[in-house]
Amino acid sequence: MASIKRTASAAWNGSGKDGHGSLTTQSATLKDTPYSFTARFGDGAGTNPEELIAAAHAGCFTMALAFQLGAAGHVPETLNTQARLTMEQEDGGWTIKAVHLVLTGKVPGISAADFADIAAKAKAGCPVSRVLKADITLEASLG
């Protein structure tokens, strides 16, 4: 069985609310990228785990869709996806409750129904969708 392993690391200094940290990925796309309580729960500078999950989901889904469209004989000119992640406080903790994918695409020769069907299959099958326990919805349109 084939497997792929990717790594990322986090460093943190100080308390949860007043401290700060940095994130680094194996590819160095993130290298000592700052994150903090204010970046996560407010408008502070830096990134946060939830926006990184949203970015990963948008990227994973869009690439999966490109593969599935190609397999169906429809090479996309453009696919653009925004992932809107919702996190809610419940039972004294925070939970990622939903991710809404908003997709627009330019795909020559495909009907809106076929596009929506293939997009739904990509949403269900992309590895990030499969790992999340959130309600994941999709809004797909051809541009």
Listed in order, strand segments (DSSP E) in the chain are: 8-13, 20-25, 33-36, 78-90, 93-106, 135-142
**Full-model pTM:** 0.92
Task: Calculate ∠ Cα 91-96-97, nearest 5°.
Answer: 85
Q: What is the pLDDT of residues 12-40, one digit of tens each?
A: 999 999 999 999 999 999 999 999 999 99
Q: What is the pLDDT of residues 97-122, one digit of tens each?
A: 999 999 999 999 999 999 999 999 99
Closest listed residue to residue 99, CA positions, set 85, 78, 118: 85
CATH domain 51-142 topology: GMP Synthetase; Chain A, domain 3 (3.30.300)
Q: What is the pLDDT of residues 63-106, one digit of tens each?
A: 999 999 999 999 999 999 999 999 999 988 999 999 999 999 99
- Enumerate the domain spans of the chain: 8-41, 51-142
Q: Tokens representing 49?
A: 């785990």
